[in-house]
Amino acid sequence: MRMSGIQSDSLAPPSQIAVAFYNAMLDGTIPWRTAETLRAALTGLAIGAGCGLIVSILLGLIPPVARLMQFSIEVLRPVPAVALIPVAILTLGFGYAMEVSLVAFATFWPVLIYGHAAITNIEPQLLDVSRVLRLSGLGRVTKIVLPATLPRYFVAFRLATAVSLIVAVPVEIAANPLGIGYELMTASQSLHPDLMFALVLWIGLVGWGLNGALLFAQRRLFGPAGMAEIAR
């Protein structure tokens, strides 16, 4: 940053940040790195959210299992995913698989906790209907549980999507030589604050765009009634 003729290696004026962003877009650095990050983040999200959905349904419909698993959940849930980076490196090595596994671990919990709460709040009359109709376990889930809880599951998925990006970038900074996090670390170590700040702003824009797209889909899918149900 230039102030009174002083050059800084840690700051950059907005004009330099804009130029660095333009150049990184033009040469494909940002698109390529962003694609790598999103590939790992969304794959981990799909695995974590899918497992969270299944486990939350099991815990919600089988209370003894929920009571049995409560202690394990309360112990594991507060563990930050980034704290498991050393374990993941030892077991999976550096790279894509390690990043996906940590994102999956982090995104599992919002869907599990939010989904389990949604199922336990289902109106008892709806579950009584499933018994009267003698629905199978699968029929009970597909015809009663999921329709009643889908709006809240979508909120959980939206939160998990934000978590996936929050975890993916630090993992790339620490242990995966791919993605936008690695490019951010490289810019910092090579004393390019203009590119570094451009990447930080870009990460924020990507997160904002993902959340905005999912919020738009949420409003279109569930409408005012669904949004009111979510707010309850």
In the chain, where are the structural domains located?
A: 14-231
Structure confidence at residue 176 (pLDDT): 82
* pLDDT tens for each residue of 20-49: 999 999 999 999 999 999 999 999 999 999
User: Is 91's pLDDT higher than 80?
Assistant: yes
119, 153 Cβ separation under 8 angstroms: no
Region of 179 (left: φ > 0; alpha: ψ -120 to 50; beta: rest) is left
193, 8 Cβ separation under 8 angstroms: yes
Single out the residue of 193, 161, 191 nearest to residue 48, CA to CA. 161
**Average pLDDT of the residues in 142-163:** 89
User: What is the CATH topology of the domain spanning 14-231?
Assistant: MetI-like fold (1.10.3720)
Under 8 Å CB-to-CB from 191, ≥6 apart: which residues? Answer: 9
**Average pLDDT of the residues in 90-94:** 89
User: Is 230's pLDDT higher than 60?
Assistant: no
